[in-house]
C-alpha cells in the first residue's frame, strides 16, 4: 500500500496512472444540497465542506469576458462552447441541464 498522499499528489498520480493511496474523490452538489451539508456539519464555506467530504479536486477558472451568451425565450441559455442549458427544478434544488 502506498503512503498517504496529498490531494494534489493523488490526482496527478491517478492521471498519470502511476498509482494512488485511494481513488481521488470529486464532490458535485447543487447549491441547495451543499447548503444542507454545510449546515449539518456547522461549516462556514465551500472549502471547509470539500475538506470534510474528502474532495481531492479544486477548480481554477478565469472570468468569462467573451461575447454575451444568448438567452432564449423558453428559458435556456447558450454556454461557452455553444451548448444550450436550461435550469431544471427537482426536490433538492435546481441545476443546468443540456437541452
- Please tell me the pTM assigned to this model: 0.70
Domain that holds residue 9: 1-60
3 and 48 in a single domain? The answer is yes
| CB distance 88 to 97 below 8 Å | yes
3 and 44 in a single domain? The answer is yes
Q: How far apart are CA 16 and CA 80, in angstroms?
A: 28
Residue 97 cell numbers, joined = 441541464
52 and 87 in a single domain? The answer is no
**Domain count for the chain:** 2
71 and 49 in a single domain? The answer is no
Q: Tell me the pLDDT of the chain (99 aa) as tens digits.
A: 668 999 999 999 999 999 899 999 999 988 889 999 999 999 999 999 999 999 999 988 889 888 899 999 999 999 988 899 999 888 878 888 999
Amino acid at each position: 500500500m502506498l503512503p498517504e498522499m496529498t490531494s494534489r499528489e493523488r490526482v496527478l498520480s491517478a492521471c498519470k496512472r502511476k498509482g494512488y493511496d485511494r481513488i481521488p474523490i470529486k464532490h458535485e452538489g447543487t447549491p441547495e444540497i451543499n447548503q444542507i451539508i454545510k449546515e449539518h456539519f456547522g461549516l462556514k464555506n465551500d472549502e471547509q465542506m470539500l475538506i470534510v467530504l474528502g474532495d481531492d479536486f479544486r477548480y481554477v477558472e478565469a472570468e468569462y469576458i467573451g461575447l454575451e451568451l444568448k438567452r432564449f425565450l423558453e428559458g435556456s441559455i447558450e454556454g461557452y462552447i455553444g451548448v444550450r442549458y436550461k435550469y431544471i427544478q427537482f426536490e433538492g434544488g435546481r441545476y443546468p441541464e443540456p437541452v
